[in-house]
Structure formats: structure tokens, C-alpha cells
Amino acid sequence: MQHLQWAFIYVGIYGMGYCESGKNVMTMFSNRGWEAIIADDLVGNVFFLVSLIVGLLTGSFAIIIELSSGWIEEDNPGDEKLVAFTLGFVLGLVLCSILMSVIASSVNAVLVLFGEKPAEFQQNHPELSAKMREIWSQTYPGSV
């Protein structure tokens, strides 16, 4: 499942078939020695945590709105707060997860492009390329 995201990014960038894209992107990561880097999936974990926190905050906000307005009418009195929290939590979690998945895909696309075409990045954006190479070499010594 981990390799699916990388293959889809390669499909989107280069327009190749899925199987060929998966093979090419994994070969590129292997040639660069980035297998451990892509296996970490720190971006996905951080964005999941952000989505969870947003869900909790949205659920809490829904409880506050319910207490101040009484917009939920429940057959069993006392369940209003639980219904409000659940509704707010699910809504906040889903919406934030959608947004975070777009950002995570963008980060992954940057990694694929950085690995695939570093010379073009250096040529077109020398300042950004220098910053990225510096931070990359500090974080993952010997992998650039």
C-alpha cells in the first residue's frame, strides 16, 4: 500500500501507465538510497495528527454551539452533547483529512521531482534548490 502513492504521483507527473510508473519511481528511490526515507511516511503521520486535533476541536466547538443554542433535539435527554461532539468531530476530521491529503500529495510530488530532476530544479530555482539540498543533507546525510 505504501508504494501506491508514489506510483500515482509518477502517473500524474509523467502520464505513464501505473505499473511502469510504480517500477520507475521505486527504481529511482532505490538508486538514490531513499527506501528508508519514503518508508518513514512522517508527513502522513503528522497530517493525520493534525486532522485528529482539528476533529477534536471541531467536536468541542459543536458542543459549545449546542449548549448555547440547543439546536439538537434528542429523544433521550443528555445525549445532545454526545451527538453534537460526534457530528462536529466527524465533520472536522473528514474536511481536514481531505485538505491534508492534498498537501501531503504535494509534498510527495516535490520529493519525487527532487529525486528525479535535481539538475532542472537547480537550474530553474537555484536558491530553493540550495536550501533544499542543505536541509536534506543535514536530515539525511549522504543521501543527496
What span, in angstroms and rounded, lies between the C-alpha atoms of 82 and 79?
5
**pLDDT < 70 positions in the chain:** 1-3, 41, 74-76, 142-144
What tens digit of pLDDT does each residue of 29-55 get?
A: 888 877 777 777 678 889 999 999 999
* Residue partners of 134: CB distance under 8 A and separation at least 6: none
Would you call 84 helix, strand, or coil by DSSP?
helix
In a domain, 31, yes or no: yes
* Residue partners of 9: CB distance under 8 A and separation at least 6: 25, 105, 108, 109, 112
Contact between residue 15 and residue 7 where contact means Cβ atoms under 8 Å apart: no
**What global pTM score does this model have?**
0.75
> What pLDDT is attached to residue 2?
58
The parent domain of residue 7 ranges over 1-40
Count structural domains, the chain.
1
Whose grid coordinates read 471541531?
58
In a domain, 35, yes or no: yes
In a domain, 85, yes or no: no
